[in-house]
């Protein structure tokens, strides 16, 4: 199943800065409906994610009733992504 959307990048400052994109409401609801079929624990959902020419494997996790996509440093560098940028993401979930 494929999900296609655009959303802003945000920074979470913990012990080290981490960068995420929040999945919008509608796709988050669909992902939640699939979660029991695909999660491997703690509600994490494995996905293939793509931004521009960069594709990587990651896991979504639930936050505030939606899901967030972590952005690896290599992805941010390859696509020149900064906090606040709106990015176009394609997520693929194997069901």
DSSP, residue by residue, 31-90: HHHHHHHH--STT-EEEEEEETTEEEEEEEEEETTEEEEE--HHHHHHTT--TT-EEEEE
- Architecture of the structural domain at 2-92: Beta Barrel (2.40)
How far is residue 84 CA from its own chain's centroid?
Answer: 15
End-to-end CA distance of the chain: 7
Instruction: Output the pTM of the full model.
Output: 0.89
The arithmetic mean of pLDDT across residues 39-68, rounded, is 92
Residue 7 contacts residue 95 (beta carbons within 8 Å): no
Which pLDDT value is given to residue 43?
A: 79
Residue 7 reports pLDDT greater than 90: yes
pLDDT band at 49; cut points 50, 70, 90: very high
């Amino acid at each position: 199943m494929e999900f296609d959307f655009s959303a802003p990048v945000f920074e979470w400052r913990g012990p080290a800065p981490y960068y995420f994109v929040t999945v919008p409401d509608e796709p988050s609801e669909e992902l939640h409906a699939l979660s029991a079929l695909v999660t491997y624990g703690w509600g994490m959902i494995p996905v293939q994610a793509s931004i521009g020419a960069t594709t990587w494997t990651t896991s979504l996790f639930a936050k505030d009733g939606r899901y967030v996509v972590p952005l690896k440093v290599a992805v941010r560098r390859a696509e020149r992504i900064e906090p606040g940028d709106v990015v176009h993401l394609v997520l693929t979930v194997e069901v």
